[in-house]
Amino acid sequence: MTCKEIENRLPAYLEHLLSPEEKETIEGHLASCPRCSRACENLRKTQRLVQDLPDVEPPPFFEQRIMSGVREETAQKQGILRKLFYPLYIKVPIQAFATLLVAVLAFSIYRTVIPEFKDLAPPAITEPEPAKGRATAESIKAPGAPAIVTPVMKAPARDFSDKKRQGFSAPPVEDGAKADRITGPQPSLPEARAPVAKSAAPVIATREKESLTLRAEALRRTQERADKQEVAQSFEAPLSEPVRKGKMAAMGTAPAPSQAMDAAVHLTIQVKDVSVAVREIEERIGQVNGRVIERQHRDAGALVKAEVAVNNLTAFLHGIEAIGWIKVKKIPRDLSNGTVAVNIQITGEP
Amino acid sequence: MPERPESGDAQSRTIGDDDAGFVARCQRGETEAFAFLVRRHQKKMLNIAYRMIGDYDEACDTVQEAFLAAWRAIGKFRGDARFSTWLCGIVLNHAKSHLAQRTARSHSEGASLDDPATSAEGRFLNEPCCWEASVIEQIEKRERDMKVQECITALEGEQREVLVLRDIQGFSYEEIGAMLKLPEGTVKSRLFRARNALKDGLLKVFGDLT
């Protein structure tokens, strides 16, 4: 064992941690080696110096310094905990208030959303309007009028359902509406509502698309309503009495509207004496500065075709009220220009 | 030489037994119980920190932070080791962390006038005075202790901590192994190297120790 190895083993030797053999070897070496013996003595002296190092004393109020930090931290921690959990007399009301707030918020959001759902069901909402419109139209039309007017008012529902079936690839709104108004079949109201009910299910996914469709539909309805009101306002006042009489006369016998009707006023008047009625009608035409264009005598009646100024049409119709039962078959929508042709079918009473 | 470590170990065991009740009260949030533990261990912890760091004021700050950390973590203390052992581990960790920060700071800022290796005066003002010894002997002893501390501070960190714990504070190898999470054999070999290194350092400072 070399001196370096002996020197490395000296601390363990001084702590009595070596085996008896190692201890005997080191003691033999130390007895014969002054350098290692001095190293051993220096090591003992080193340990004495270390162990003689005095303890330092804590500074004054060191404990108070430490504990002030501890108490400060404890107060902060308790403050956080108290805010979160402990004061039930504060926590419970706050939680109740928060729950109430959430409920009120949810209800207000629900109230805000409801109008959007209403927008998604136009046929159901516009149901009363067709009834009112039909009454107005029927009040001015002859017995054939309901067959014409009713599709106009129900057209939105059918039109909407058709658009739904076509995946919203709708034709131009105005043209489609007019086509329905003239030739389209009358869908029943439940049928018209069914697609709408179906459309309410995928509200979120198709909301935007439906919104566009519904806006177009609403615009079209508004335009139709304006047109109808315009026609009604043009005829309602002057024609109310003849129409009422015509309607009474035509009950149960209303013919289907003719596709061949042109832009003329078509009237049917039922009288006792056809020849007298023809003469009186021609007189009335003359009174309103009208012009008889054609006169045809048939089996049990006659046909008088005349031309009357639009401004005098009302006076003319009032004038022939007393001749017999009048049935208005058709009144053209556009009567803004000069004169209008009036075809009067005169039939004798059976 | 083994007398002091053994006596220190016995003292620690007694303290450890007494600490259990106070630790339990601390875990229930009683700060007064922790104040008692602070009063009981503050000097020992301060000395460990001082011998590790070599600067009294910095040691005080480190111990204060270590006690605060112990209070925060006392809920996690399960009693696997004695409270003093657990507390020493915290103080050692804070001391090493402080030394690492100081080393990094000195590298970036250069040498400081407050560096403990060069600022000798006033570092032992709080040491107890030995009124029986003469003034000259007091001054000589103070200078010698300063040099010893300088040599301890000059040791490698791993060697310094086992030397402080064993030769100055008197912990057993088992306790040191528990604090440092090292096997006893490693603790011993590290301690023996530390003693030889300190002897070589003191020989350079004092010439001959005998």
Q: What is the mean pLDDT of residues A56-61?
A: 92
Between chain A and chain B, how many beta carbons pairs sit less than 8 Å apart? 123
Rounded-to-integer distance, Cα A54 and Cα B129, Å: 10
Q: Would you state the pLDDT for residue A324?
A: 84
The pLDDT of residue A85 = 61
Residue A57 has pLDDT above 70, yes or no: yes
> Which residue has 């503050």 as its token pair?
B42
pLDDT at A339 over 70: yes
Residue of A nearest to B41 (CA): A63
What is the token pair recorded at B210? 């005998």
Q: What's the rounded Cα separation, in Å, for the pair B199 and A47?
A: 8
Q: Which residues pair with A267 in a beta bridge?
A: A328, A344
Label residue A41 left, alpha or beta by phi (over 0 means left) and psi (-120 to 50 means alpha).
alpha
Which pLDDT does position A244 carry in this prediction?
45
Of A80-94, A222-236, A333-347, least confident by mean pLDDT is: A222-236
How large is the average pLDDT for residues A68-95?
Answer: 75
User: Residue A168 above 80 pLDDT?
Assistant: no
Burial of B103 (0-12, 13-18, 19+ CB in 10 A): exposed
B82 SS3 class? coil
CA A193-A195-A199 angle, to 5 degrees, is 115
**Which tens digit of pLDDT belongs to each residue from A142-159?**
444 444 444 444 444 444
Cross-chain residue pair A73–B71, CB shorter than 8 Å: yes
CA A36 remoteness from chain centre: 101
% of chain A with per-residue pLDDT over 90: 14
Is B152–A39 a contact, with Cβ atoms under 8 angstroms apart? no
Write out the two tokens for A246.
Answer: 């015509």
**ipTM for this model:** 0.76
The predicted structure's pLDDT at residue A310: 84
Give chain B's mean pLDDT: 82
Contacts of B4 in chain A (CB under 8 A): 51
Rounded distance, CA B137 to CA B133, Å? Answer: 6
Q: What is the CA radius of gyration of chain B?
A: 18
Task: Select the more confidently predicted residue: A83 or B33.
Answer: B33
Instruction: Give the angle B154-B156-B157 at the CA atoms, nearest 5°.
Output: 110
How would you class B163 by CB atoms within 10 Å of its CB: exposed for 0-12, middle for 13-18, buried for 19 or more?
A: buried
Q: Which of B161, B166, B150 is nearest to B5 (CA)?
A: B166
Question: A62 touching B, CB under 8 A?
Answer: yes
Summarised one tens digit per residue, pLDDT across range B23-36 is: 999 998 888 999 99
Q: Crossing angle of helices A34-51/A20-32, nearest 10°?
A: 110
Say if residue A203's pLDDT is above 50. no
Whether B53 and B95 have beta carbons less than 8 Å apart is answered as yes
Q: Is there a contact between B68 and A73 if contact means CB atoms under 8 Å apart? A: yes
Q: How far apart are the CA of B46 and the nearest CA of chain A, in angstroms?
A: 7
Q: How many residues does chain A have?
A: 350
Residue of higher predicted confidence among A230 and B97:
B97
- Return the pLDDT at A73: 84
Q: Taking the CA atoms of B156, B162, B166 and B168 in sequence, report the sign of the dihedral they define.
A: positive
Q: Residue range A325-329: average pLDDT?
A: 80
3-state secondary structure of A19: coil
In tens, the pLDDT along A245-288 reads 444 444 433 343 443 345 788 888 888 888 888 888 888 888 88
The pLDDT confidence band at residue B111, using thresholds 50, 70 and 90, is: low
- The predicted pLDDT at position A155 comes to 41
HSE at residue B15, side-chain half, CA atoms within 13 A, is 20
Query: Inter-chain contact B1–A49, Cβ cutoff 8 Å?
Result: no
- Note whether A55 contacts B: Cβ–Cβ < 8 A: yes
| DSSP SS3 for A90 | helix
**Beta pairing class for A325-330 and A339-348:** unpaired
A80/B contact by beta carbon, under 8 A: no
**B153 to chain A: which residues are within 8 Å by CB?**
none
Which band of pLDDT confidence, cut at 50, 70 and 90, is reported for residue A289?
A: confident
**Residue with structure tokens 């040791």?**
B155
Distance in Å, alpha carbon of A86 to nearest chain B alpha carbon = 15
**pLDDT at A63 exceeding the cut of 80:** yes
Residue B169 has pLDDT above 60, yes or no: yes
C-alpha dist (Å) from residue A195 to A162, A181, A187, B54: 9, 20, 12, 89
The predicted pLDDT at position A91 comes to: 74
Of B34, B42, B188, the CB nearest to A58: B42
Q: A223 pLDDT band (50/70/90 cuts)?
A: low
Q: What is the mean pLDDT of the segment spanning A51-65?
A: 91
The pLDDT of A135-143, averaged and rounded, is: 44
Strand partners, A270: A325, A347
Of A57, A69, A73, the CB nearest to B128: A57
Q: What percent of chain B has pLDDT over 90?
A: 51
Q: Tens digit of pLDDT for each residue in A311-323?
A: 888 888 888 888 8
Lowest mean pLDDT among A320-324, B9-13, B198-202: B9-13
d(CA A281, CA A344): 9
Query: What mean pLDDT comes out for the span A85-103?
Result: 81
Give dist(CA B125, CA A40) in Å, integer: 33
pLDDT level of residue B88 (50, 70, 90 thresholds): very high
Does position A44 have pLDDT exceeding 70, yes or no? yes
Which of A196-200, A243-247, B81-85, B188-192 ranks highest by mean pLDDT? B188-192
Mean pLDDT (chain A, rounded): 69
Contact B210 A42 (CB under 8 A): yes
If you count them, how many residues does chain B have?
210
pLDDT at position A86 is: 60
Predicted confidence at residue B148, as pLDDT, reads 92
Whether B205 contacts B147, CB under 8 Å = yes
**Confidence class of residue B6 from pLDDT cuts 50, 70 and 90?**
very low
Quickly list DSSP for B45-60: HHHHHHHHH--HHHHH
CB A216 within 8 A of CB A173: yes
Q: How far apart are CA B146 and CA B118, in angstroms?
A: 11
Which tokens go with A107?
């209800």
pLDDT at B131: 53
In single-letter form, the type of residue at position A143 comes to: P
Greater model confidence, A233 or A45 = A45
